Structure 1
Amino acid sequence: MKTTPAPETDNRPAADPRGASHTHREILQQPRLWTEMVTRLTAERPALDTFLAPLLADPRLRIVLTGAGTSAYAGQVARTALAAATGRTVEALATTDIVADPTACFEERTRPTLLVSFARSGGSPESTAATELADQLLDHCAHLVITCNDRGALAVRHGERANSYVLLTPAEAEDQGFAMTSSLTCMLLAALHALGGDRVRGLDACPAAAAALLSEGLPDQVTALTRVAHQRFVYLGSGALKALAGESALKLLELTGGAVTAIADSSLGFRHGPKAFLDDRTGVVVYLSNDPYTRRYDLDIFHELTEALPAGHVVAVTGRPEGLPEAATWLVPGMADADDAALALPAVLYAQLLALDASLACGVTPDNPFPDGEVNRVVQGVTIHPFTER
């Protein structure tokens, strides 16, 4: 697949924000890394197709996208687009759900399955445990491991196995900051390209769209919102963009060390109770779908909340600005015809920079928002218990 390259600039200011040298750099480097990711995929395409083609040829194939935390959201964003592109059953199941209740996740023992594992470090205990449980409970399970760390336990375990393929991102995508930014988007891009290719609309435009966002005053837009709504946020979206809303809320919680409260929901689901979260200090970001039908529901909640909250507290992130007030529109340029999974790639930059700005405003150090170790970059404290089939 030909990809429009990002402009030859990393858009960095002269100095990184205090305590955010890793996080700031890792957000801004994404357009360049996406182009590198596509170049890597093009080189690996023959070997990747040799591995995937026999699996995808089976109409009974079940594809399970898995990861924990942000990595789980990667699978949720990609699911619908990959189901349409492959014509196969695609599900997104968190490794934390697989490990806790494996029989509920792998009920059909004889059904051929491709387990796609997303993992920044590959060192989380659930990452390897999920693949082991899949092998234990399924007669025919292949593994596509998408990771940023060639030395991680997951990559090492699957590197030489005949039924596994390890797909590595550029090394720089293994974020050194606390939160997943480059790692999320490079792994998501890799999955969409590897399994969907040209059938996922808009992937080729993502690097240029993200670079344009970073050069067109995006930080100023973000700062304007965090200054009027600095205590609590709501992210809303539908389908793939609901998953993006969940990742956006998680990023804000992580980078502010929990100092700013954030929730996420679907555009329709928000009215069913979670709307009680709103007050006049709340900022709202609504991700608008490119699907004409789904978009109607996103617009309905956007207009409803715009009328209910003070001016400047509600914004729409969209590839299509038609019918929206300019002051409340955060445009993702060049993505008007993209599938929502592709739209999510440049759109997430808004959420990442908002979380970074809110973190700095709270006096938190974004690269390490939990200096006492209450929450860790690679999860700790998990005991994997042996599983016996019942």
Structure 2
Amino acid sequence: MTSLLHRERHDWQRLGGLHTAEEIEHQPALWRALATALEAQQPRIDAFLGDWLRQPGHLVILTGAGSSAYIGEMAADSLNAAWPAEVRAVASTSLLTHPELYLTRGQPTLLVSFARSGNSPESLATVELLRASVDAPRFLNITCNAEGELLSGSAGRADTLNLLMPEGSCDRGFAMTSSLTTMLLAALAVLGAGAWPERLGRIRSLAGLADTALAAWAAPVQALAQADVRRIVYLGSGAQEALAREAALKVLELTSGRVMAVANTPLGFRHGPKSMLDEHSLVLVLRSRGSVARRYEHDLVQELRADGIAARVLTLGPEDEAEHLPAFLPVPPLPQDGLDDSWLTPLWLIAAQLLALNKSVALGLTPDNPFPDGRVNRVVQGVTIHNHDPR
């Protein structure tokens, strides 16, 4: 029998979580496959982007819905700092309702769409919205489904570059796990600055770190999930702020809403949300690499532990022995440079995915399909797309 994330495969099958467990576990392999695929496609990518990102008047919108929207939020600030073009994250669910706040007809705009299936109504409608609202839009579709409408509907268009993620990235389980981290790394590599070997080297370096992390984290996270925790709080700043939102969403999805999960920033948490803490609460503070951010994080951790209200206050991320705040999970040695907070988010996401998966099992749910009644679906349903008058 083959072990998978500290359980036998037949146990995951019996528990209804085999797909999700496999998709968390195979992320390092997918990331290596991604690096190889991007290396082969480098000439096509460079030809499409050219010097587009070097133009101060250009706009790049990173978009998606739900977890796919958080991909853009995790990457946007880092990419925006790297280029003269403006790079911002706007969820497709916001673009569709208030396009006048984000789109200008005469401004050259590149829409980067993240989509696991490529079939959600918002993804498809956002592309049509850009075509109707911007004079010369361009499109970069990063998706995991070769048969999705997002790819098939734009095949052969000169204004579109389609990047299909490696086989196996289109998660079979309900929650986005490997699809999300693979698309995030694709965006950071394709739209990032620096030489291609350097960018691809970061992906491969992360894959090695993830191999170590998966082996070390599966057992302690499984044990943590057994605790009587009914509220989980993820706190992060910078790229970790969006990471916190995605981590909280994973808990909500895989526990079918039975565990309430929220996200905030370490500084923002004091401004009201802290009142939610009780003896059934778990707080996870996502640590930054920046020294100033780390001081704020350190202060809050010390404060929450002194309060003694939450059941546990844990940290996850780069460690600093001088701070006397050891991370809950052992962190593989990180390179001194090259991997900033945006690039490290896929590594910390593995821990969040493991916790949500094991909490689902602890509650007697089936992680591959936590909503057997169909009230929430893997590909969103029930959305009516309304026309917008661009005037």
Q: What range is the shorter-chain TM-score in?
A: over 0.9
- Residue 229 of structure 1 and its aligned partner are, at CA, apart by 4.5
1:89 pairs with 2:86: yes
Secondary structure of 2:161's aligned partner:
strand
Task: Show the counterpart of 1:384.
Answer: 385
Say whether the 8 Å CA contact 2:64–2:92 is kept in structure 1.
yes
Say whether the 8 Å CA contact 1:332–1:347 is kept in structure 2.
no
Task: Show the counterpart of 2:272.
Answer: 273
Distance 1:295 1:151 in 2: 44
- Residue 285 of structure 1 and its aligned partner are, at CA, apart by 0.7
Which stretch shifts more, 346-355 or 137-146?
137-146
Say whether the 8 Å CA contact 2:280–2:310 is kept in structure 1.
no
Task: Show the counterpart of 2:169.
Answer: 173
Distance 1:330 1:138 in 2: 47
- Residue 149 of structure 1 and its aligned partner are, at CA, apart by 0.7
**Given the superposition, is the C-alpha separation of residues 64 and 132 from structure 1 closer, same or farther in structure 2, using an over 3 Å criterion?**
same
Distance 2:269 2:371 in 1: 30
- Residue 87 of structure 1 and its aligned partner are, at CA, apart by 3.5
Say whether the 8 Å CA contact 1:316–1:329 is kept in structure 2.
yes
Task: Show the counterpart of 2:210.
Answer: 210
Of 27, 32, 35, the match for 1:35? 32
Distance 2:117 2:211 in 1: 26
Alignment RMSD (CA, Å): 2.0
* Structure 1 gap ranges (5+): 1-8
Secondary structure of 1:171's aligned partner:
coil
1:148 pairs with 2:144: yes
- Residue 104 of structure 1 and its aligned partner are, at CA, apart by 1.2
- Residue 327 of structure 1 and its aligned partner are, at CA, apart by 5.9
- Residue 136 of structure 1 and its aligned partner are, at CA, apart by 1.1
1:365 pairs with 2:372: no
Aligned-partner residue type, residue 120 of structure 1: R
Task: Show the counterpart of 2:57.
Answer: 60
Distance 1:205 1:10 in 2: 22
1:293-334: per-residue Cα shift (whole Å, max 9, x none)? 222222222222222236871111112342355665324323
Of 177, 181, 192, the match for 1:196? 192
Of 14, 18, 22, the match for 2:8? 14
**Given the superposition, is the C-alpha separation of residues 103 and 57 from structure 1 closer, same or farther in structure 2, using an over 3 Å criterion?**
same
Task: Show the counterpart of 2:281.
Answer: 282
Distance 1:375 1:112 in 2: 36
* Structure 2 gap ranges (5+): none
Of 136, 142, 147, the match for 2:132? 136
Q: TM-score under structure 2 normalisation? A: 0.92
**Given the superposition, is the C-alpha separation of residues 198 and 215 from structure 1 closer, same or farther in structure 2, using an over 3 Å criterion?**
farther
Aligned-partner residue type, residue 72 of structure 1: A
**Given the superposition, is the C-alpha separation of residues 282 and 312 from structure 1 closer, same or farther in structure 2, using an over 3 Å criterion?**
closer
**Given the superposition, is the C-alpha separation of residues 294 and 23 from structure 1 closer, same or farther in structure 2, using an over 3 Å criterion?**
same
Secondary structure of 1:355's aligned partner:
helix
Say whether the 8 Å CA contact 2:210–2:347 is kept in structure 1.
yes
Distance 1:189 1:168 in 2: 13
How many percent identity over aligned positions? 46
Task: Show the counterpart of 2:291.
Answer: 292
Distance 1:271 1:224 in 2: 29
Say whether the 8 Å CA contact 1:81–1:341 is kept in structure 2.
yes
Aligned-partner residue type, residue 157 of structure 1: G
1:198-235: per-residue Cα shift (whole Å, max 9, x none)? 4779544210111100112x122213433335211000
- Residue 57 of structure 1 and its aligned partner are, at CA, apart by 3.5
Structure 2 counterparts to residues 339-358 of structure 1, below 5 A: 339-358=340-359
**Given the superposition, is the C-alpha separation of residues 285 and 293 from structure 1 closer, same or farther in structure 2, using an over 3 Å criterion?**
same
Secondary structure of 2:378's aligned partner:
coil
Say whether the 8 Å CA contact 1:202–1:339 is kept in structure 2.
no
Task: Show the counterpart of 2:315.
Answer: 316
Distance 2:179 2:138 in 1: 23
Distance 2:136 2:294 in 1: 39
Say whether the 8 Å CA contact 2:112–2:141 is kept in structure 1.
yes
Aligned-partner residue type, residue 348 of structure 1: L
Say whether the 8 Å CA contact 2:255–2:365 is kept in structure 1.
yes
Aligned-partner residue type, residue 215 of structure 1: A
**Given the superposition, is the C-alpha separation of residues 323 and 357 from structure 1 closer, same or farther in structure 2, using an over 3 Å criterion?**
farther
Say whether the 8 Å CA contact 1:231–1:281 is kept in structure 2.
yes
**Given the superposition, is the C-alpha separation of residues 144 and 183 from structure 1 closer, same or farther in structure 2, using an over 3 Å criterion?**
same
Distance 1:328 1:58 in 2: 42
- Residue 374 of structure 1 and its aligned partner are, at CA, apart by 0.4
Say whether the 8 Å CA contact 2:116–2:145 is kept in structure 1.
yes
**Given the superposition, is the C-alpha separation of residues 37 and 243 from structure 1 closer, same or farther in structure 2, using an over 3 Å criterion?**
same
Say whether the 8 Å CA contact 2:232–2:281 is kept in structure 1.
yes
**Given the superposition, is the C-alpha separation of residues 293 and 372 from structure 1 closer, same or farther in structure 2, using an over 3 Å criterion?**
same
Which stretch shifts more, 109-118 or 377-386?
109-118
Say whether the 8 Å CA contact 1:202–1:335 is kept in structure 2.
no
Task: Show the counterpart of 1:3.
Answer: none
Distance 2:316 2:202 in 1: 16
**Given the superposition, is the C-alpha separation of residues 74 and 21 from structure 1 closer, same or farther in structure 2, using an over 3 Å criterion?**
same
1:122 pairs with 2:118: yes
Distance 2:331 2:151 in 1: 34
Say whether the 8 Å CA contact 2:23–2:177 is kept in structure 1.
yes
